[in-house]
Every structure is written in structure tokens, then in C-alpha cells.
Amino acid sequence: MEKKEDSAVAMATKMGSKPEESGTNWSFLDQIDFAKTLENSGEQSNIDQSTWKKIFIQVGLGEIINVLETGIDKLIKQVVEQNTSELLRKKFGKCQFLLAMPTFMRLCGMEINAKTDLKQEALLTSQLWEQLKSSLFYTIQFLLAEQINSIEEKNKAYQTALDKTEQEAAEIPGLAGIMSDVKKQFLEKINDGKKKKTDLIEIFNNIGSGFVTSIENVFGTTVFAASHQSIEPSPIV
């Protein structure tokens, strides 16, 4: 097997051949702006800017995204290396002469190494994606849960205050008219809290679904597929 530093791209260049491109799916992956996609996901989920910035800092999304995008850049180069190694071996074809066997084996080893490197990097990128996703969702859901609990506590306080106010008013003749207006104000506050709680629960249950789907649709045909690929040399027909 050839030395690890052998490069199919370098060999193809020396031979005057153009290295193979990464392909359409990998190009789509390379075009993803994770920070912008996350920001859009937050807006679609009606998460206010201050909360989103707090999430971004708390999770350390900036650092994770930088590492993820660096890993994807590396993956693209490894895909080009793998595709080029496959092309070189196909151009060489089946080994017809024993004296050419060293070159044939070198090309086979080059392809195996390229596939192994891509598979390992794809596994790391998959794990990093899962880390980003779980950290993001956990933090968002935790903050949303805090807001929901806060609304519930406020509504309990309003309801308790309303009950006590009604008790006080019942003991004083002539407060029925005033109490009607006061009760209306209390109920407006309570109903507003219920609506906010319902909206937050909906966000809690659906947070990031669009973001995850859009990203993982691209990852499925690239990163995830590469992380499960065989490292055996491609068959030559």
C-alpha cells in the first residue's frame, strides 16, 4: 500500500488530468450558512432577538459552527481526493500484466486511504452536528420552559388577587360596578398569559423542525452517507 502522503489529486495534476469535482450534493452542503439558517429558524419560531442572542452565547454556537464549517471544507477536499482516486484507478483499468501490479496496488491503496479519511471525517462531522443540535434544542427548550413557568406563576398570582378582590368587594355594598371593570382587567391579563403560554408551548414542541429537516436533507446524501460508506475499492467493469 502507498504511503499515506500520496495524493490522487497531485498525481492527476502531474499527469495533466483535471481532478474530479465534489458533485452537486456536496456543493449544496458547502453553500449552507449555518449561522444565517439558525437565525432564520429562530425568527420563524418567533424567538425574540434578545433571547436568541442569549441562546447563541450560552450554547457557544459561534465556536461550534466555525468548527463545523471548517470540517465541511475539509470534507469537500477529501471528496475530491476520493473521486479523483476512483477516476485514476478506472483509467488504469484491470491489471493485465504482473509488472504493472505495483502501480495497480498503489492506486488501490490510494483509493482505500481516500475513502477511509473521508469516512472518518464524516463521522466526526456527524457527531459535531448532533452536538450542535442537542445543545441548541436543550438550551432553547430550557429557556422556553422558564418563560412558560413564569407565565404560569403570574397567572396564579393574578387569579389569587382576583379571588381576594372579589371577596373584599362582596362585603362592601355598591362596589358591583367597579368590580365588574376590575374583574375585566384581571381576566384580560390572565387570558393574555394563557395565549402567550400556548404560543410558547407550540414553539417548544416544534422548535427547529424546519432547520433540522433542511440541514439533514443535505447531510443525508453527503455527510451521513460518507460516514457509512464502504472503504473497499470500487469495482472495475
Residue 191 lies in a domain: no
Q: Is residue 219 part of a domain?
A: yes
Cα distances from 52 to residues 4, 43, 45, 63, 219, in angstroms, run: 45, 9, 11, 16, 25
- Asked whether residue 2 is assigned to any structural domain, the reply reads no
Residue 166 lies in a domain: no
143 part of a folded domain: no
Query: How does residue 30 score in pLDDT terms, banded at 50, 70 and 90?
Result: confident
Give yes or no for residue 182 having a pLDDT over 60: yes
Q: CA dist 166 to 79, 178, 191, Å?
A: 72, 11, 18
How many whole angstroms separate alpha carbon 207 and alpha carbon 194?
19
Predicted pLDDT of residue 3: 43
Number of domain units in the chain: 1
Give the range of the structural domain holding residue 27, as residue numbers without chain letter.
8-137+208-227
Q: How far is the CA of 75 from the CAs of 102, 117, 196, in angstroms?
A: 29, 9, 43
Q: Please write the tens of the pLDDT for every residue from 186-206.
A: 999 999 999 988 988 887 777
- The percent of the chain in helix, strand and coil, each rounded to the nearest 5, is 80, 0, 20
Is the model's pLDDT at 139 over the cut of 60? Answer: yes
Q: What is the pLDDT of residues 36-67, one digit of tens each?
A: 777 776 666 667 777 777 777 877 878 888 88
Residue 154, in any domain of the structure: no
Instruction: With respect to residue 235, please indicate whether it lies within any of the assigned structural domains.
Output: no
